[in-house]
Amino acid sequence: MTTTSTRSAVSITGSVPAELATALRSVSSALALLRRDPRAPDVVEAVRRGQATVDQLAPGVTAVVLRRLLASIEECHRQGVTTSIRLGARTRAARYAIRLEGPPHG
């Protein structure tokens, strides 16, 4: 398993498996596009790319949380807003899931 150090909107600094790092970059890109222009058509394409990368992850909590985050990004896009209570909660849930998936401490 290859690990990568990463820092993004939905990640924490540290080593994570390469597949997870790729998924995090895709999800972060979708989130950044939403925040820049919630009505931009590019948001939908970024969400699709994010879904494809998340689909490559092993089944588990992190994959489920990232899928839900992408669904919230898409929902905000449809509503033309940059954030929502649900999006904030799912972003925090993704951060927690990534921490849990990280390397053991100690």
Tens of pLDDT along the chain (106 residues) come to 444 433 445 644 467 889 999 999 999 999 999 999 999 999 999 999 999 999 999 999 999 999 999 999 999 999 999 999 999 999 999 999 998 877 655 4
User: What ranges do the domains of the chain cover?
Assistant: 3-101
* Angle at the Cα of 93 from the Cα atoms of 29 and 33, rounded to 5 degrees: 15
CA distance 53 to 27: 9
- The pLDDT assigned to 77 comes to 98
CA distance 41 to 44: 6
CA distance 3 to 16: 5
Cα–Cα nearest to 9, from 70, 74, 63, 52? 70
